[in-house]
Structures are given as structure tokens and as C-alpha cells.
A and B are shown apart, each in its own frame.
Chain A
Amino acid sequence: MTAQQEPSFDCGGDLPVDCAQVAVYVQSFIDGEHVSISIEALEVHLDRCAPCGLEADDFRRLKVALARRKSERSMVDLLRCCCQSILETGKL
């Protein structure tokens, strides 16, 4: 249940959860999985702590880009049909 990495920053503020806890739970949070700390506290932290917030943004972008790969696979199948048509008739 623990993530291995140490956070490389600590906002040190008076936020309800600290950066180390965020580092442990941010992935599950982004995945919509259960997290055993307060979601609200996590959101407040990501909102106010720039390093953690930017890191979470990076992981969200990564997830979006990865999810896109699924639709790209079916697109490749479609494009194969197009190529077939182009090779046989010279048009789409």
C-alpha cells in the first residue's frame, strides 16, 4: 500500500496532508480508486502546493495520452482498410 519514492519537496505549510502523503496517494486519486485519506484534504493540497499540483497535472496528462492509445488501435485498423482501397482503386 506504500509507494516507494520519497517526495523531493515539502511545502512545509499548514496543509491538512503533507507532500509525502500526497506522493503516496496521488496515483490512486487520479485513477479514481479508493484512498484512505480525505479526498478533500488531498484536493486542497494539490490546489495550494505548486510542486504537488504540477506533478499531478503531469500524471493526468500521461493518463489521457495513454487512454488515447486505445482509440488509435482501432484507427490503425481503419487506415489499413483505406490503404487497401487506395492500392486497389487509387482513391479512398
Chain B
Amino acid sequence: MSTDNSGSSPRAAVPDDVPGAAVSDPPATDREGVLRPAQTGQTDDVSDVGEERPHIDEAERQRRFSDWIVPELPFLARVSRSMSRTGAQAEDLAQDTLLKAYRSIDRFDGRYPRAWLFRIARNTAINRDRRRREQVAMDEESMDRVPDREPGASDPAVQVDDAVYDELLENALDALPPDFRVLIQLVDVEGMRYQEAADLLDIPVGTVMSRLHRARRRLRAAVAGTHLDRSGNASVEVGVEAT
């Protein structure tokens, strides 16, 4: 990541992964776009040639970044994770995205920061993966072998899929009753055993199991459909009980 031409002359820094639109799309359009695989191939259409870039001073740049971008860090962490194979990769992606957002925030009108950040992260990830594939191909060629697709290399469609999954999951967690949510937190996020969670909450293990079961069925119902097309299995049976 080059860190040249940073604060001193921000107008000169036009990150190649930043969407060029001065006005962001509304979320519905963006989500539709996000889900359309053809669009994930856009990587180099991000120059802002011919566009008016209103000059903003450093104080304004910092204010916009603080107001619009910083509140979205949890979102950025989630999507970066979903677009990366390792934690280190995800951290690099998120940091690159933040820097690009900072440098190009004069081109952003402040509407739908999530959609804007998502597009920067996605384009950055696509370029990262393409560079890695090219590197692997070059290495393989020099070793006189047929280049294979890099094992586990993330397909942009799958990345988007995971990002949508994580967002649906986030919303579904918020919608869970507190008794259910705390168990998901303890057992699934923190990795506690049933007995530990039962002791902590002072409830029987059987109650832990039944609440966990019901909570997970609700979450599963909420995220259903985000990944089924991939396996070719059509039907989504969602067992949400009336609780």
C-alpha cells in the first residue's frame, strides 16, 4: 500500500478502487447491484475523469471521515472478513479501504456510506485477488506447470454472498429476544460449553439447549436463501416455530 501523496495534496490521490460516482446509489439499487455477479467484474471503471471534484479542506475531510466512515467500522470489519481468507488479509483490506475512503471522500456526498464503503472494499478485494492470481500464474509458469485456480481463492460472487449473509445475520441477531441472543453470544460467539452458559445464567442445561435450538432456527430462517443457489438445491425449508 503506497502512502505517498497523502495529506498534503489529497486532490492528486485518486485511488483506483474508488467508485467514481459523485452521488451514491440508493441502497436498493446498490443491493441489487451487489447481488448481480456481472457487476463484480468492474475493477477499472473507477477513474473520475471529467468529473467535478469540489475542493474541501483538511478539516472538512476529517469531519466527513469521522461522521460518515468511522461509525461504519463494524460493518467494514464484517465485509472485509467475508471477502478474505485469513484475518491478516481482512485487516489489510479494511485498512486499504479506509485510506482510500479518506482520500476520496471529497467525491462522496455522504449518502449511504455503507454502500460506498462496500464498493471500495469489493473493488480492492477483486484487484487484490487478481494480482494474487497473476502472481501464482507467473510462478507456476516459471515452474513449467499448468496454472490451477488457486485453492480457496475467493470468487467475487461468493464474497458478495458471504457479505449479504453476514448482514442478514446481523439484523436477525438484533431481532432475537434477549434471552436467546445472550445464549448465541455465549455459546456461538464466545465458544462456551452448554454447562458453562447454564451456570452463568443460572438456568438448566435443558433450557440452554432448547433456547439455543430455537434461536438458531430463527437465525437460519433469516439467512436462508443466501447460499442455496450455489449448491443447486432449490428448496429452503425454514422451521420457525411460534415462540
Residues of A within 8 A of B (CB): 1-5, 8-9, 27-28, 31, 33, 51, 54-55, 58-59, 61-63, 65-72, 75-76, 78-80, 82-83, 86-87, 89-92
Q: Within the assembled complex, what's the spacing in Å between the Cα atoms of A63 and B174?
A: 16
Most buried by A among B7, B191, B213: B213
A-chain residues with CB within 8 Å of residue B216 when the two chains form the complex: 27, 59, 62
Q: Given contacts A65-B165, A92-B3, is CB(A83)–CB(B223) below 8 Å? A: no
DSSP majority for the A interface? helix
Q: Is the CB of A86 within 8 A of B239?
A: no
Q: Which residues of B contact A (CB under 8 A)?
A: 1, 3, 6-8, 10, 58, 62, 65-66, 69-70, 73-74, 76-78, 80-81, 87, 90-91, 94-95, 98-99, 102, 165-166, 169, 184, 187-191, 193-194, 206, 209-210, 212-214, 216-217, 219-220, 223-224, 227, 233, 237, 239, 241, 243
For the complex of A and B, 3 pairs with smallest distance between CB atoms:
A90-B7, A66-B188, A90-B6
Chain A residues within 8 Å of B165, by CB: 61, 65
In the complex, the answer to whether B65 meets A86 with C-beta atoms within 8 Å is: yes
Q: Are B241 and A66 in contact (CB under 8 A)?
A: no
| Interface SS, B side | helix
Contact partner, A59, options B187, B220, B243, Cβ 8 Å? B220
Interface contacts beyond A33-B194, A65-B169, A82-B95: sample of 10 additional A-B pairs, CB < 8 Å, sorted by A: A2-B210, A28-B209, A62-B216, A65-B166, A66-B184, A66-B188, A75-B80, A79-B77, A79-B95, A90-B7
Task: Quote the shortest CB–CB distance from B168 to chain A (angstroms).
Answer: 10
Q: Which residues of B contact A55 (CB under 8 A)?
A: 237
What is the bound-complex CA distance between A91 and B188, given in angstroms?
36
Give the chain B neighbours of A63 by CB distance below 8 A.
Answer: 188
CA distance A2 to B214 in the complex (A): 12
**One of A1, A4, A33, A75 near B193 (C-beta < 8 A):** A33
Q: Are B3 and A83 in contact (CB under 8 A)?
A: no
Q: Once the chains bind, are A27 and B73 in contact (CB under 8 Å)?
A: no
Q: Are A72 and B81 in contact (CB under 8 A)?
A: yes
